[in-house]
Amino acid sequence: MELLGFGSLRNPEKESQGSRAEGEKMGGWAIAVHGGAGVDPNLPLERQEEAKQLLTRCLNLGISALRSNLPAIDVVELVVRELETDPLFNSGRGSALTEKGTVEMEASIMDGPKRRCGAVSGLTTVKNPVSLARLVMEKSPHSYIGFSGAEEFARQQGVEVVDNDYFITPDNVGMLKLAKEANTILFDYRIPSSGYETCGSGVESPLQMNGLPISVYAPETVGCVVVDREGRCAAATSTGGLMNKMTGRIGDSPLIGAGTYACEVCGVSCTGEGEAIIRGTLAREVAAVMEYKGLKLHQAVDFVIKHRLDEGKAGLIAVSNTGEVACGFNCNGMFRGCATEDGFMEVGVW
Amino acid sequence: MGWAIALHGGAGDIPVSLPPEHRQPREEALRHCLQIGVDALQGKMHPLDVVELVVRELENIPHFNAGRGSVLTNKGTIEMEASIMDGRTKKCGAVSGLKTVVNAISLARLVMEKTPHIYLAFDGAEEFAKEQGVETVDPSHFITAENVERLHHAKEANIVQIDYSTQPLQNGTKKETSVVANGDSQLGTVGCVAVDSNGNLASATSTGGLVNKMVGRIGDSPIIGGGTYANELCAVSATGKGEAILRATVARDVAALMEFKGFSLMEAANCVVHERTPKGTVGLVAVSAAGEVATPYNTTGMFRACATEDGYSEVAIWSAS
């Protein structure tokens, strides 16, 4: 499968050191953020600039927090809250719309050291889904709560709630219309396919993701991964999901092991075609090849992107407990940024 | 090489003193479901169809925590979830928060085959069920007196609990030694994994969740990689402490050890259960493309049954030793 615009960011200083000897400088914090994989090649320059500015702002937020020694788990939450609040990307305000024109948000967060996790789905009034996910992790006996139960939990916890309208932007109302038109013209998912075809594979046509033309696809998901000075990794992912999705549809973002994973050795957040990420248990995969094949972070990311996606299109960001950061994607662009304690910083789209 | 099948009705602190009136119907049910699966495999049914068939049967039996016989939420309601995965294509389907659908596993299969999505939940899933014309009933159909009692006990003890560790209506109810104060569960779920002689693998898991769980709580059973996983090497269905299975991505981990460390099915399954998850939290059933079976657990017991083409078969709750 041809790799479209495969990109990988890594700390150039670390790379030029070649394979690092044991006992060499380990650690130092590192952070990466993303605003979705799969970018319309015709995206106007102003939009690209806007996105880069937001990513830069979020990185800086995370960097200040890390410099003040805030633990990784707090940093990822902080940064993803910022991404949710800004209407630019597909999470919180600015979320993609369901087929009914409503917003249903989901998120997950995971703390590497003990692999504690929290996730939520089907939120319609909670201003910051990632924070509710954190509360599930810390204040409930469970790891994942969805829909009306999650909304109820939100009220019990006193988190900020707003009307569903708050999350809906005119841009996305327009996109939904286009998506519905595109679906009618191109194909109808409700027509059963004859064989076991890959989910999301539709008619061969100009750039598509999840069966939608890239111009209406809307990059899914925001995420952040962090390793702090103590070598603790954390990851968080948040999204409004797929444009024109069926109500009740859950994607990869709230699924531990798929969209989000963090353990002793790394923290990973994924974005792209949800179904491909779930099927490939993508986030967990990065950790698995590091643990079981002894791959270094960027090798693990490369491996997973090259070999675990088949026809699926996705991207991910990851940090390791030794202070490395890496990104990879096999689709047309991924909004991303990363920084490490030794001064490296980069924000990119393609 | 040859076909193989394994199924479970939950792992947990199943007391060895479990009285016959509770033990026998379950053993009988496991035997019955095993036979259904074996007959299907001998009749050359595809493993994906086999696991769905067997799990439907387990869901219909009120003795296990899935479908009819599902445990109750803290509001006394039913919320069922399930997932299914085909090893060769890695296509999968999952559902959560079902209240009226008689067979959650079949709806999960329909999500896989009739939608562009993998996972549907709550109202959206119920709506999809109606569109698909699957069998639905009044939620009261799933509720059994035993589970009403279990919920009552759990509320009194103010814990979210495992379903098998208390036996309602028994004198001197066994102390739930294995229930953690923060409400982690250790038991529940039904599942089935199967492989045919062509190496096609499939896995399916279904559950009512945790007794006294918060409304909306989702466990490991509908999570691909957590409670269910199948690829070209193996098929796995896990059961036990949902939150522990989730963070360890148990089902995926078995396959990952086989793939990346070259472990055999048995080695991989044992490693995950005995070395990579805390004691008292997990059990699983797994089959490999080569027709092997593994059914390890680190809890007191696991309701299980398995069979292979060369004539081996077992129905058990505890270990032989």
Q: Is the ipTM of this complex over 0.85?
A: yes
Q: Which residues of chain B are within 8 Å of residue A245 when distances are taken between CB atoms?
A: 117
Minimal C-alpha gap between A185 and chain B (Å): 16
- pLDDT of res. A181: 86
Reported confidence tier of residue A332, pLDDT bands at 50, 70, 90:
confident
User: What is the pLDDT, as a whole number, of residue B183?
Assistant: 28
CB contact under 8 A, A143 and B215: no
pLDDT bracket for residue B86 (50, 70, 90): very high
Across the interface, whether the CB atoms of A249 and B117 are under 8 A apart is answered: yes
Q: B193-220 burial, b if ≥16 CB within 10 A, otherwise e?
A: bbbbeebbbbbbbbbbbbbbbbbbbbbb
Q: What is the pLDDT of residue A204?
A: 38
Q: What is the pLDDT of residue B175?
A: 37
Please tell me the distance from the alpha carbon of residue A112 to that of residue A119, in angstroms, as a whole number. 15
Q: What pLDDT, on a 0 to 100 scale, did the predictor assign at position A310?
A: 82
Supply the pLDDT for residue B142. Answer: 96
The alpha carbon of B195 is separated from its chain's Cα centroid by a whole number of angstroms, namely 17
3-state secondary structure of B320: coil
Q: pLDDT (tens digit, 9 = 90+) per residue, B90-146?
A: 999 999 999 999 999 999 999 999 998 999 999 999 999 999 999 999 999 999 998
* Contact at CB, B120 and A280, closer than 8 angstroms: no
Q: pLDDT by residue (tens digit) across A302-323?
A: 999 999 998 889 999 999 999 9
Smallest CA–CA distance, residue B312 to chain A, in Å, is 32
Task: Find residue B314's DSSP bridge partners.
Answer: B306
Task: Give all strands of the β-sheet with A314-320 in edge-to-edge order.
Answer: A260-262, A266-272, A314-320, A325-329
Give pLDDT tens digits for A15-27.
433 333 333 445 7
Residues B113, A116: C-beta atoms closer than 8 Å: no
Q: Are A246 and B242 a contacting pair at CB < 8 A?
A: no
Q: What pLDDT score was predicted for residue A211?
A: 66
Sheet holding B190-195, edge to edge: A249-250, B119-121, B92-98, B80-86, B201-207, B190-195, B4-12, B301-308, B313-316
Q: Can you name the residues that pair with B128 across neighbouring β-strands?
A: none
Q: Quick one: which of B251, B252, B227 has its CA closest to A308?
A: B252
Q: How confident is the model at residue B1 (pLDDT cuts 50, 70, 90)?
A: confident
Q: Which of A8-17, A43-52, A176-185 has the highest mean pLDDT?
A: A43-52
As a whole-number percent, the residues of chain B with pLDDT over 70 amount to 90
Give tens-digit pLDDT for B266-307.
999 999 999 999 999 999 999 999 999 999 999 999 999 999
Q: What is the pLDDT of residue A199?
A: 39
CB contact under 8 A, B260 and A145: no
B120: nearest CB among A189, A248, A255? A248
Binding site listing of B: 217-220, 239-242
Confidence of residue A242 (pLDDT cuts 50, 70, 90): confident
Query: Residue A215: what pLDDT?
Result: 59
Q: What is the mean pLDDT of chain A?
A: 86
pLDDT at B163 over 70: no
Residue pairs between chains A and B whose CB atoms are closer than 8 Å: 171
Per-residue confidence at A247, pLDDT binned at 50, 70, 90? very high
Which chain A residue has the Cα nearest residue B219? A144
Q: Which residues contact B212 (CB under 8 A, 6 or more apart)?
A: B72, B73, B74, B151, B154, B155, B159, B160, B161, B183
> In this predicted structure, what is the pLDDT of residue B13?
87
Tell me the shortest Cα–Cα distance from A257 to chain B, in angstroms.
Answer: 6
Q: What is the band of B83 on the pLDDT scale with cuts at 50, 70, 90?
A: very high
- Structural tokens at position B305: 């049954």
Q: Which of A39-43, B151-155, B163-167, B265-269 has the lowest mean pLDDT?
A: B163-167
- How confident is residue A218, by pLDDT bands cut at 50, 70 and 90? low
Q: Tens of pLDDT along B220-261?
A: 999 999 999 999 999 999 999 899 999 999 999 999 999 999
| Residue matched to tokens 């597909």 | A90
> Are residues A33 and A83 in contact, defined by beta-carbon separation less than 8 angstroms?
yes
pLDDT band at A212 (very low <50, low <70, confident <90, very high): low
Q: Please enumerate in sequence order all residues whose Cβ is within 8 A of that of B1, keeping only pairs 6 or more positions apart, or say none.
A: B197, B199, B290, B291
CB B90 within 8 A of CB B169: no
- Compute the distance between CA of residue A137 and CA of residue A108 in angstroms, rounded to an integer: 9
Average pLDDT for chain B: 90
pLDDT at residue A290, rounded to an integer: 98
Contact B252 A288 (CB under 8 A): yes
Q: Does residue A273 have a known ligand-binding role?
A: yes
Of the candidates B88, B122, B243, the beta carbon closest to that of A122 is on: B122
Q: What is the torsional sign of CA A158, A160, A166, A169?
A: negative
Per-residue pLDDT at B108: 98
Distance CA A303, CA A298 (A): 8
Q: Which of B91, B248, B260 has its CB closest to that of A293?
A: B260
pLDDT of residue A184: 57
CA distance A217 to A39: 9
Q: Which of A213 and B196 is assigned the larger pLDDT?
A: B196
Number of residues that this document lists for chain A: 350
What pLDDT does residue A243 have? 87
> What is the average per-residue pLDDT within A331-342?
94
Contacts of B80 in chain A (CB under 8 A): none
| Partner-chain residue, chosen from B116, B216, B252, that has the shortest CB–CB distance to A257 | B252
- Residue B295's φ and ψ, nearest 5 degrees, are -140, 55
Quick check: B180 pLDDT over 50? Answer: no
Contacts with B223 (C-beta within 8 Å, 6 or more apart), sequence order: A144, A255, A256, A257, B83, B94, B246
CA dihedral angle for residue B314, residue B14, residue B67, residue B32, rounded to 10 degrees: 20
**A76-120: pLDDT as tens digits:** 999 999 999 999 999 999 999 999 999 999 999 999 999 999 999
Q: DSSP per residue over A153-180, as a string?
A: HHHHHT--B--GGGG--HHHHHHHHHHH
Chain A positions touching B93 (Cβ under 8 A) are none
Instruction: Quote the crossing angle between the two packed helices A147-157 and A129-139, to the nearest 10°.
Output: 80
How far is Cα B213 from Cα B73, in angstroms, rounded to an integer?
Answer: 5
Pairing verdict, β B119-121 and B92-98? parallel
* Predicted local confidence at residue A206, as pLDDT: 58
Burial class (CB in 10 A: 0-12, 13-18, 19+), A215: middle
pLDDT (tens digit, 9 = 90+) per residue, B49-77? 999 999 999 999 999 999 999 999 999 99
Contacts of B249 in chain A (CB under 8 A): 256-257, 261, 281, 284
Q: What is the pLDDT of residue A283?
A: 98
A248:B242 CB<8 A? no
What sections of chain B are H helices per DSSP?
Answer: 20-42, 47-60, 104-114, 122-132, 145-157, 242-247, 250-261, 265-274
Per residue in B275-306, is it b (16+ CB within 10 Å) or e — as a string?
A: eebeebbbbbbbbbbebbbbbbbbbbbbbbbb
Average pLDDT over residues A174-195: 59
* Shortest alpha-carbon distance between residue B77 and chain A (Å): 12
* Residues of the binding site of B for substrate: 217-220, 239-242
Dihedral over alpha carbons A65, A66, A71, A75 (to 10 degrees): 50
Q: Which residue among B224, B247, B260 places its CB closest to the CB of A281?
A: B224
Q: Is B189 a catalytic residue?
A: yes
What is the C-alpha to C-alpha distance for residues A70 and A64, in angstroms, rounded to an integer? Answer: 9
Q: Which residues of B touch A198 (CB under 8 A)?
A: 89, 91
What does pTM read for this prediction? Answer: 0.89
